[in-house]
Amino acid sequence: MELYNTLTRKKEALKPVKKGVVGFYSCGPTVYNYAHIGNLRTYVFADTLQRALEYEGYKVKRVMNITDVGHLTSDADSGEDKFEKAAALSQKSPQEIAKFYTQAFLRDIKELNIKKPKIIVPATKTIKEQIAIIKKLVAKGYAYQTSLAVYFEVAKFKNYGQLSGQSLSEKLTAARDDVVEDEEKKNVADFALWFKLAGRHQKHIMHWSSPWGEGFPGWHIECSAISSKYLGQPFDIHTGGVDHIGTHHTNEIAQSEAATGKPLARVWMHGEFLLIDSNKMAKSEGNFITLQTLKDKGFSPLDYRYLCLTAHYRSRLNFFWESLAAARNAYENLARLIVESQAEKRVSKKTAFKSLTNKFQASVIDDLDLPGALAVLWEAVKSQNLSGKDKIKLVKDFDKILGLELLKAVQAKAAIPSAVLSIAKKRQVLREQKKFAEADKLRLELAKKGYEVKDSSGGGFSLLRIK
Ligand code: AMP
Ligand code: ZN
């Protein structure tokens, strides 16, 4: 399998540390608010990657953190802890906030048919391990203390900008305008490993004792601690969104590698942004849409999953309601075509099945080209060279990666009597011919049979049982 590695800026053949097993770490959500559909795009990407690896025969050991402390309102070291801020606004404890939004996140991923990573670890459950890494960094001279915090000294780490491609001096220029809240910091680009209960964080509710006094960990150290605890070092694949490249992942690499002298992960993969009105969708920007909003507008979470699959994970995706409607339409049409194909009696041409399987697989192993894989699914369903039975076999196989629950969708469609379906289709043809009065008569006929027909913007329809 060839995967694009942000670290080396090229596609590389995957060679797991341990033959046949892939150690896979994904940065998880910061649970101070609902996940937005941009965040969820990144988790759909990681899910399809896991499924693709399993499809290729690997055993996947997947670990994800839950950030429930230490992520400040800026990804750097200024601002408040997002949890303490949300707690103050809602009169709840930071722990209650984290628990509530963790559950909401787990519901969201379930509805998107995202496989839950086997190991999910909240940052607050590994404070001991985080402190152990910081102690090593202090002992090795990579970290220093001020009266407010313990910092990682970036100038001491040779390859600091390797992941982002940004040299330290470029990073410093970029960081020039950052708010520096600690005058004792040696360098603005140094990042916090541990915050003391001092200065702005004097009244921080969540705190633990450490060799540097009571305090709480900086955001990045949790991922270093959790990934190495469960996967060892180096492990195979690390994922996140592209916004993590410059700061969070760069800092993860620096602290883990400085502490152990070993690389953290071999392949770094980053999902591109979901944009709205050409801007990054972000919780902090208030321009975000949640899965619940989609459902309130009548979409199913799998309509959104389908939309995600239409764009490569390394391409930006601009969110429009019209594109979501088109995705729903395509998804419904696909399910309908599959229902219809079940009745097809033709015999498969000899090579057709194999050549479609090969084509599908070729897309998947080419850096997870799922738009390509989806196109092969359509080709299979429309094929004149395959029997209905073989089509269903392929759909079942391809859906192991796409995760669209296509056979369930087909069962739901198949439960509609064929007489009802054929009236609905006749009505659709009449509508296309703009014979609306006749089409309306058929709508009434469908209602009498207990079905309401709903037209979608792309010219398709769906049937809802009303009695
Ligand atoms: P957070 O909950 O803010 O820690 O983010 C969770 C994940 O969503 C991270 O991997 C981010 O990189 C990713 N992410 C944040 N915003 C977007 C976006 N607009 N589109 C895609 N992924 C995003
Ligand atoms: Zn992380």
Separation of CA 27 and ligand 2 centre (Å): 4
pLDDT of residue 174: 72
User: Which atom of ligand 1 sits closest to the CA of residue 280?
Assistant: 19
Identify which of 322, 125, 341, 163 has the alpha carbon closest to the alpha carbon of residue 244: 163
- Per-domain residue ranges for the chain? 2-271, 279-414, 418-465
Identify which of 128, 139, 136 has the alpha carbon closest to the alpha carbon of residue 209: 128
E-assigned strand segments in 262-392: 265-271, 274-276, 279-280, 317-318
Whole-angstrom distance, CA of residue 106 vs CA of residue 115: 10
Q: Give 10-residue mean pLDDT values along the chain (467 residues).
A: 98 98 98 96 98 98 95 80 88 93 98 98 98 98 97 95 88 71 91 94 93 96 98 98 96 98 98 93 87 95 98 98 95 89 85 97 98 98 94 97 91 79 92 93 92 74 72
User: Which atom of ligand 1 sits closest to the CA of residue 30?
Assistant: 2
pLDDT of residue 176: 67
User: Which atom of ligand 1 sits closest to the CA of residue 41?
Assistant: 21
The residue whose CA is least distant from atom 11 of ligand 1 is: 241
User: Which atom of ligand 1 sits closest to the CA of residue 26?
Assistant: 10
Identify which of 38, 18, 47, 30 has the alpha carbon closest to the alpha carbon of residue 269: 47
Q: Is 360's C-beta closer than 6 angstroms to any atom of ligand 1?
A: no
**Cα 310–Cα 315–Cα 321 angle in degrees, nearest 5:** 50
| Burial category of 6 from C-beta neighbours within 10 Å (exposed 0-12, middle 13-18, buried 19 and up) | buried
The residue whose CA is least distant from atom 8 of ligand 1 is: 39
Whole-angstrom distance, CA of residue 176 vs CA of residue 221: 24
Separation of CA 346 and ligand 1 centre (Å): 47
Separation of CA 361 and ligand 2 centre (Å): 30
Which listed ligand is nearest to 219 at the C-alpha?
2
- Provide the terminal-to-terminal Cα distance of the chain, rounded to the nearest Å: 50
pLDDT of residue 32: 93
Q: Is 30's C-beta closer than 6 angstroms to any atom of ligand 1?
A: yes
Separation of CA 430 and ligand 1 centre (Å): 45
**Cα 360–Cα 361–Cα 363 angle in degrees, nearest 5:** 70
Query: What single-letter DSSP state applies at residue 245?
Result: I
pLDDT of residue 7: 97
Residues that place a CB less than 5 A from ion ligand 2: 27, 223
- What CATH architecture applies to the domain 279-414? Up-down Bundle (1.20)
Provide CATH code, domain 2-271: 3.40.50.620
Residues in the chain: 467
Q: Is 243's C-beta closer than 6 angstroms to any atom of ligand 1?
A: yes
Separation of CA 415 and ligand 1 centre (Å): 39
Q: Is 117's C-beta closer than 6 angstroms to any atom of ligand 1?
A: no
The residue whose CA is least distant from atom 23 of ligand 1 is: 39
pLDDT of residue 181: 80
Q: Which residues pair with 10 in a beta bridge?
A: 5
> Beta-carbon neighbour count of residue 205 at 10 Å?
14
User: Is the C-alpha dihedral spanning 205, 210, 211, 216 positive or negative?
Assistant: negative
Q: Is 70's C-beta closer than 6 angstroms to any atom of ligand 1?
A: no
